[in-house]
């Protein structure tokens, strides 16, 4: 072997056969996650975080996270309205974004009559959700109460009161431009509390009962 041949041999580029194995592994992982998604209930929020993490770690690029974008923009709109942060908390669940509107701040006691102080908050929510970027998202408005029985001529049960409040909230959202065809309404009454209404010995928990009196707005991909 000549001196020139030895020189070229020592300076050859290293083999990168390992990249083929690495690419195969990533493909198998993606196929595995797709299979899991196909046979299980899809957590849209978790899927979005996983997809974004894989895009960043594997592809070294940023991936859009529309659910997180909606959450941030709704939180900003609520904070911009007077009393918004006290009346609404913004979070996420397995489907998408969840807004919990405090029924005490939104309605007069034992009724579905909307307080004027909440109007600016609901207007900000509606205008944000009506953005063209979020037009493919469904809005489900849910009514909830605590477990204190309601029985009046207008509202014979907690279901009736929760339904009336959900309907009032949905109509308010629609009055500020949110299309009705994107909205759903449901009443859970006292049967989907955020926290226990009573201790184990039956002692009422007033703070928890107040937390359970709410209108929940769920925003998720359609």
% pLDDT > 70, the chain: 77
Q: Which of 104, 105, 101 is nearest to 91 (CA)?
A: 101
Q: Say if residue 77 is in the same domain as residue 181.
A: yes
Q: Say if residue 91 is in the same domain as residue 51.
A: no
Both tokens assigned to 22: 């690495």
Encode pLDDT of 157-191 as tens digits. 999 999 999 999 999 999 999 999 999 999 999 99
Encode pLDDT of 121-165 as tens digits. 999 999 999 999 999 999 999 999 999 999 899 999 999 999 999
Q: Tell me the pLDDT band of 55, cut-offs 50, 70 and 90.
A: very low
How many whole angstroms separate alpha carbon 132 and alpha carbon 220?
A: 15
Q: Say if residue 84 is in the same domain as residue 43.
A: no
Encode pLDDT of 67-83 as tens digits. 999 999 999 999 999 99
Reported pTM: 0.74
Encode pLDDT of 194-206 as tens digits. 999 999 999 999 9
Encode pLDDT of 186-196 as tens digits. 999 999 999 99
Query: For residue 151, what are the domain limits?
Result: 66-221
Q: Are 169 and 216 in contact (CB under 8 A)?
A: no
- Quote the longest CA-to-CA distance of the chain: 105
Q: Say if residue 32 is in the same domain as residue 72.
A: no
Collapsing DSSP to helix, strand or coil, 221 comes out as strand
Q: Say if residue 48 is in the same domain as residue 89.
A: no
Residue 46 has pLDDT above 80, yes or no: no
Q: What is the DSSP string of 63-129?
A: ---HHHHHHHHHHHHHHHSTTHHHHEEEEE-SSSEEEEEEHHHHB-TTS-PBPGGGHHHHHHHHHHH
Tell me what pLDDT residue 48 has: 53
Number of structural domains, the chain? 2
CATH, residue 135? 3.30.1330.60
Least confident of 42-46, 85-89, 208-212: 42-46
Q: Say if residue 48 is in the same domain as residue 70.
A: no
Q: Which residues contact 174 (CB under 8 A, 6 or more apart)?
A: 126, 180, 183
Q: Say if residue 98 is in the same domain as residue 181.
A: yes
Q: Say if residue 145 is in the same domain as residue 188.
A: yes
Q: Say if residue 212 is in the same domain as residue 119.
A: yes
59-67 CB contacts, 8 Å cutoff, 24+ apart: 66/133, 66/134, 67/92, 67/96, 67/97, 67/221
Collapsing DSSP to helix, strand or coil, 188 comes out as strand
Q: Say if residue 192 is in the same domain as residue 132.
A: yes
Q: Say if residue 104 is in the same domain as residue 168.
A: yes
Q: Say if residue 98 is in the same domain as residue 131.
A: yes
How many whole angstroms separate alpha carbon 167 and alpha carbon 141?
A: 8
Residue 14 has pLDDT above 70, yes or no: no
């Amino acid at each position: 072997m000549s001196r020139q041949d030895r020189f070229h041999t020592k300076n050859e580029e290293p083999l990168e056969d390992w990249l083929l194995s690495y690419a195969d592994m990533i493909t198998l992982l993606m196929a595995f996650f797709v299979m899991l998604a196909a046979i299980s209930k899809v957590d849209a929020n978790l899927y979005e975080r996983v997809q974004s993490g894989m895009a960043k770690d594997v592809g070294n690029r940023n991936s859009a996270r529309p659910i997180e974008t909606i959450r941030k923009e709704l939180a900003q709109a609520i904070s911009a309205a007077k009393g918004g942060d006290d009346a609404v908390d913004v979070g996420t669940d397995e489907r998408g974004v969840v807004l919990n509107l405090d029924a005490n701040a939104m309605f007069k006691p034992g009724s579905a009559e909307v307080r004027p102080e909440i109007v600016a908050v609901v207007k900000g929510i509606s205008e944000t959700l009506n953005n063209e970027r979020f037009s493919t998202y469904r809005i489900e408005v849910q009514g909830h109460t605590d477990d204190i029985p309601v029985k009046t001529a207008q509202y014979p049960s907690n279901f009736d009161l929760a339904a009336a409040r959900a309907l009032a909230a949905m109509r308010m959202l629609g009055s500020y431009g949110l299309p009705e065809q994107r909205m759903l309404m449901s009443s859970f009454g006292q049967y989907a509390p955020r926290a226990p209404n009573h201790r184990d010995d039956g002692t009422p928990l007033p703070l928890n009962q107040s937390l359970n009196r709410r209108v929940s707005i769920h925003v998720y991909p359609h």
